[in-house]
């Protein structure tokens, strides 16, 4: 019982972190009961289009769209300048689309990188949901009802539901005490008999949370499972399942399940074992096996950690203090004395030594590696080359880009090759807010190899997008 209570507490705990050169980010939530989630890959095939666009449309008048000044256009590849709206998308652009709030009506709409309103500003609430490489979707609310539209203003789920929760590849939809599962293409794939599900996990599982019974997991036939935790990796299509047992010989079992429900790898920790291990998927072919900090319900590892090749059914001998995914479907293994990088087939493709460092930072979308020595940082590429040849006070990843604060206290941004994208000194800190060209930065994000910076000039009620 204590284990179940611990799992429930952990599930309801939200981590918070502050990074970078002092910029604050705000988040607007569509509903206290609507989950925010990272979006995995989904099918790109479209279903037959029907005439389901919104009847009402909104265009921005010429006086509200301003031309970028010539000097600014020389430094920025494109962008927009819109008056009468504020940025409200919670600090993250979705493939170059932004949720904005009308200063006059306080209603929300969606604009693209050219400042066009692809969804009119007429909704009470709006939040990013499912997406693919070329299409994003938003959950919207109007007059108490929820629906889903895409960035072409096409209806994905009608505006008639009491609640819509987004998962990594599907939606859980509620109406009149009934629930159903919809995919990101707008197809209802399952009508549920029971009620009260909290979320849908991939294509295989449903989740319920209650104070009386804790967290429970069900298959798509609504049969309860014996799992105590299920997580889905939308990048690999693998489910990570944890099961407890009162049997001392099978007290803790981790399973990796593929999209067909088949076990691809399993490890069981027994009461008699001196060490306990956990597993997680890195790709369809590579997994991580790591020793856990705690025997039960381990969320962290203390090493050693190993790569395991599923195709060859072989563990790579080298042990690491930690293992993470980075850009280009590659995986980083941190040694006490350096770093090794593997491709998704288990081949070591980069390796270099490091010594006397405090910590290492890396990002899933970037090939850059930043290393802390004492109180300052240096920037390396995958071959261990010091790209900038100098120390920095602070660092923050922005997708594949890296924001740096130099020893003079000036902030700038570089790309993966070490090229300066925003010169040092063009970004400033004012009372812990970050500014560009005298305007408060509301969001910085990487979109299709470019850096998108949204700024807001509050006094003039002006919203600007700069693209580098």
CA angle, corner 41, sides to 132 and 362, nearest 5?
Answer: 105
For residues 99 and 138, is the Cβ–Cβ distance under 8 A?
A: yes
Strands, E, within 354-432: which ranges? 359-362, 369-373, 376-380, 392-398, 401-406, 411-414, 420-430
- Strands 79-83 and 462-467 turn out to be antiparallel
Q: Is the dihedral of CA 89, 91, 97, 102 positive or negative?
A: positive
**H or E stretch at 355:** none
Measured between alpha carbons, how far is residue 207 from residues 121, 214, 455, 456 in Å?
Answer: 34, 10, 39, 40
For residues 413 and 401, is the Cβ–Cβ distance under 8 A?
A: yes
Instruction: Assign 241 to helix, strand or coil.
Output: strand
**pLDDT digit string (tens) for 181-211?**
999 889 999 999 999 999 999 999 999 999 8
Q: Facing residues of 308 across strands?
A: 287, 315
Peptide bond between residue 304 and the one before it cis (omega within 30 degrees of 0): yes
* Residue 181: closest CA among 168, 52, 259: 168
Write the DSSP symbol of residue 49.
P
Whole-number Å distance between alpha carbons of 254 and 375? 38
Q: What is the pLDDT along the chain (468 residues), one digit of tens a residue?
A: 334 444 443 444 433 333 445 444 433 334 333 333 333 333 333 333 333 333 333 334 433 444 333 333 334 456 888 999 988 755 456 778 899 999 999 999 999 989 999 999 999 999 998 776 678 899 999 999 999 999 999 999 999 999 999 888 899 999 999 999 999 889 999 999 999 999 999 999 999 999 898 999 999 999 999 999 999 998 889 999 999 887 767 678 899 999 999 999 999 888 777 778 889 899 888 999 988 755 444 445 566 899 999 989 999 989 998 888 888 888 999 988 899 999 988 899 999 998 888 888 888 888 899 999 999 999 999 999 999 999 999 999 998 999 999 999 999 999 999 999 999 999 887 666 788 888 888 888 888 889 999 888 877 778 888 999
Residue 79, pLDDT score: 83
For residues 96 and 113, is the Cβ–Cβ distance under 8 A?
A: yes
437-458 burial, b at 16+ Cβ within 10 Å, e below that, comes to bebbbbbbbbeeebbbbbbbee
Structure tokens at 186: 């707008």
Whole-number Å distance between alpha carbons of 31 and 26? 15
Strands, E, within 234-328: which ranges? 238-244, 252-257, 263-269, 277-281, 286-292, 301-309, 314-315, 322-326
For residues 169 and 184, is the Cβ–Cβ distance under 8 A?
A: yes
For residue 163, how far is the Cα from the chain centroid? 22
Residue 21, pLDDT score: 55
For residues 7 and 228, is the Cβ–Cβ distance under 8 A?
A: yes
Q: Which residues contact 341 (CB under 8 A, 6 or more apart)?
A: 326, 330, 331, 332, 333, 348, 349, 350, 351, 382
For residues 397 and 389, is the Cβ–Cβ distance under 8 A?
A: no
Whole-number Å distance between alpha carbons of 466 and 438? 13
Measured between alpha carbons, how far is residue 39 from residues 129, 210, 358, 403, 450 in Å?
Answer: 7, 26, 32, 24, 20
Q: Which residues contact 317 (CB under 8 A, 6 or more apart)?
A: none
In 10 A of CB 31, how many CB atoms? 14
Residue 75, pLDDT score: 47
Structural domain boundaries in the chain: 27-43+54-220
**pLDDT digit string (tens) for 125-168?**
999 987 766 788 999 999 999 999 999 999 999 999 999 998 88
Residue 446, pLDDT score: 87
For residues 98 and 454, is the Cβ–Cβ distance under 8 A?
A: yes
For residues 394 and 405, is the Cβ–Cβ distance under 8 A?
A: yes
Whole-number Å distance between alpha carbons of 406 and 156? 47
For residues 287 and 312, is the Cβ–Cβ distance under 8 A?
A: no
């Amino acid at each position: 019982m204590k284990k179940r209570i611990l799992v429930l507490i952990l599930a309801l705990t939200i981590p918070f972190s502050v990074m970078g050169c002092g910029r604050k980010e705000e988040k607007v939530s569509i509903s206290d009961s609507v989950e925010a989630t990272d979006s995995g890959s989904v099918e790109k095939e479209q279903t037959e289009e029907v005439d389901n666009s919104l009847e009402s449309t909104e265009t921005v008048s010429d006086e509200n769209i301003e031309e970028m000044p010539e000097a600014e256009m020389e430094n920025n590849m494109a962008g927009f300048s819109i008056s009468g709206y504020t940025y409200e998308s919670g600090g993250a652009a979705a493939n170059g689309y932004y949720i904005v709030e009308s200063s006059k009506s306080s209603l929300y709409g969606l604009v693209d990188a050219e400042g066009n309103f692809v969804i009119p500003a007429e909704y009470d609430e709006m939040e990013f949901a499912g997406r693919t490489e070329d299409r994003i979707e938003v959950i919207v609310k109007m007059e108490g009802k929820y629906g889903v539209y895409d960035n072409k203003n096409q209806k994905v789920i009608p505006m008639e539901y009491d609640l819509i929760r987004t998962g990594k590849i599907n939606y859980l939809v509620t109406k009149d005490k009934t629930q159903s599962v919809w995919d990101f293409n707008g197809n209802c794939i399952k009508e549920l008999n029971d009620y009260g599900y909290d979320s849908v996990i991939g294509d295989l599982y449903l989740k319920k949370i209650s104070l009386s019974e804790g967290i429970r997991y069900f298959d798509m036939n609504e049969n309860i499972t014996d799992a105590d935790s299920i997580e889905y990796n939308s990048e690999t299509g693998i489910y990570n399942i944890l099961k407890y047992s009162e049997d001392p010989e099978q007290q803790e079992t981790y399973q990796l399940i593929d999209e067909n429900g088949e076990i691809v790898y399993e490890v069981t920790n027994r009461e008699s074992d001196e060490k306990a291990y956990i597993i997680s998927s890195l790709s369809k072919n590579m997994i991580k096996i790591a020793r856990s900090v705690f025997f039960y319900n381990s969320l962290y590892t203390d090493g050693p950690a190993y790569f395991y090749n599923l195709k060859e059914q072989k563990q790579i001998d080298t042990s690491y203090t930690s293992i993470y995914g980075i850009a280009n479907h590659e995986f980083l293994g941190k040694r006490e004395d350096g770093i090794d990088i593997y491709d998704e087939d288990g081949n070591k493709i980069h390796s270099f030594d490091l010594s006397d460092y405090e910590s290492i930072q890396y990002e899933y979308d970037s090939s850059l590696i930043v290393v802390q020595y004492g109180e300052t940082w240096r920037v390396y590429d995958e071959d261990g080359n010091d790209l900038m040849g100098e120390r920095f006070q602070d660092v923050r990843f922005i997708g594949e880009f890296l924001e740096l604060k130099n020893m003079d206290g000036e902030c700038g941004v570089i790309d993966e090759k070490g090229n300066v994208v925003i010169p040092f000194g063009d970004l400033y800190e004012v009372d812990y807010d970050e500014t560009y060209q005298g305007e408060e930065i509301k969001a910085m994000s990487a979109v299709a190899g470019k850096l998108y910076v949204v700024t807001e000039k509050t006094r003039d009620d002006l919203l600007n997008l700069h693209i580098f």
